[in-house]
Structure 1
Amino acid sequence: MKFNFSDITILVAGDFMIDHYIMGTSNRISPEAPVPVVIPNKEYSIPGGAANVAMNLRALGANVFCLGVVGDDIWGETLLSLLNNNGINISEIDIIKNHPTTLKQRIYSNGKQVARIDKERIIDWNPNFLSKNIENYDACILSDYNKGVIKNADIDTNILIVDPKKDDFSLYNNANIITPNINELQKATNIKIEDNESIIDACIELIRKNNFDYIVAKKGEEGMTIVGKNSFVKNIKAHKVENPDVTGAGDTVISALSIAYAKTQDIELSARFANKAAATAVSKTGTATVTIDEINNYIGLDI
């Protein structure tokens, strides 16, 4: 099935960050410590976190609005420029004085990541969601990286989809869809995840306690398990990708899932589309976006 998402408008609220890549080569080990001496030959920056979600949505054809913060530094300026140049609305991103933009620097040597340097500071920020014309959006995504922007999911919107990082899922109460990975699912329930049955049990418990419509549990190379109200359960196998780079894969999943669900309101179809988008994304190096054409043309994949 081929989609056209040009009529879909989505708000992305959450933790905006920038990923900076230093690509280089190394042919010797430092005499100071057992680490490679990397000679950079290329550097570039890509939106990360909630910003990567926004970029993925835009690449898929949606109209995208952002709500969050950046610092008053060169990284924030670069991030806003990257988003704006891709046609993403940044009018509701606050620039906070004396606050660093969340930065993840990845250092690659001879094609392999050898180090990551993070710069961040948790912020106490309280946006007034009611002033953001929330009813104008087909869906709202909360991209929570636990950096202080997302306090809860108390938002009255058409469709609310959450990529969680907090252990207390009651903060996301009443969300339509929530997309934890296995580690997040285990921490939220204190249920030891050993097999698919325990995944389903954990999801059922969270749905009962927090009134979610669906949980899409991300299982990495094993795919996804969807659990919904009224005993709905569906397992979706992952597409096999040789030497995958999973950087930003979760952002691709929630972007594709959200945009497809906003279009169709069909959770299984949306999850299958997200599964295909994820396979396309992890076949690339680094934080990556995917387009409709790339997803449709990915060899041997059907939704």
Structure 2
Amino acid sequence: MEGDGNHTSVAMFVLLGLSDDKELQLILFPVFLGIYLVTLTWNLGLIILIRLDFHLQTPMYFFLSFLSFIDVCYSSSIVPRMLADFLKDEKTISLMACATQYFVVAWMAMAECCLLASMAYDRYVAIGRPLQYSAIMAPGLCQRMVAGVCGSGFLSSLVQTSLCFHLYYCGPNIIRHFFCDIPQIMTLSCSDPFISQLILFLAAVFVGFGSFLLILLSYGFIAASILKISSLQGCAKALNTCTSHLATVTLFYGTALSVYTHHSSSHTTEQDKVLSVFYVILIPMLNPLIYSLRNKEIKEALRRVIKKVAS
């Protein structure tokens, strides 16, 4: 359909997907289906376990259950569509569906940034002010922090999605990716995207990098608190409470920065796709494993729940 400067003339986009090789797509389908099922099982299982076991009713596990919820939503906004596209010859997606997919993806990504910052603050209070931990990290504060996480992600995503899909698109309509991502979409715009790109950049910096700076600041205070601990055993115990969170932050920000901050000449489209697979598909599967693998409390809670169900 035709449109003016305020409305798009493109009704459909075409996603190129991970590969145009039919045989490779048939191989990738069961691989990514398995990854998605594992992601759902691990994250939903962790949420249920935290809800069922009284010993896990603490701020750290409250935030962890919300991280699992974000990862489920994040993965579900991309993988089912990608799996369906593996079986299609023409991978078309409507303008509204594309905008909706990006809105959810950006919402969850920005919310995860803010949540990781909240979790870093929780770790600082646990290590730096252990005697006041219960008073400071009261249920009311934790709930307000999660509400702030959701609100910040929602507003940032709304701004990004509105600006991107308000641009004039007259063709071509081919997105060189397996999901609707703003950098690839905005290159298709027939109008000048400079103002939109600037505002998008500021929104990403404010939420994404702002959260990262808060994480660094929290770990600066954590390091200072650990240095004050006299015993090596105490230091080791304090560090152990941070290892899972540090691993999650490193994976999330490391891959995100690789995808979104490189120069266009340094990465090929295929390299970007591989990095994006890790960023948006594998990390949601790995997060519950990272937090559960060496966590004695979660293992003990799982044994208690199994024993309770069996009896």
Asked if TM exceeds 0.5, the reply is: no
RCO greater where, 1 or 2, for CA within 8 Å and sep 6 or more?
2
Q: Structure 2 length as normaliser, TM-score?
A: 0.24
Q: Which has the higher helix share?
A: 2
Q: Which has the higher strand share?
A: 1
Q: Structure 1 length as normaliser, TM-score?
A: 0.24
Decide which structure has the larger Cα Rg and report it: 2
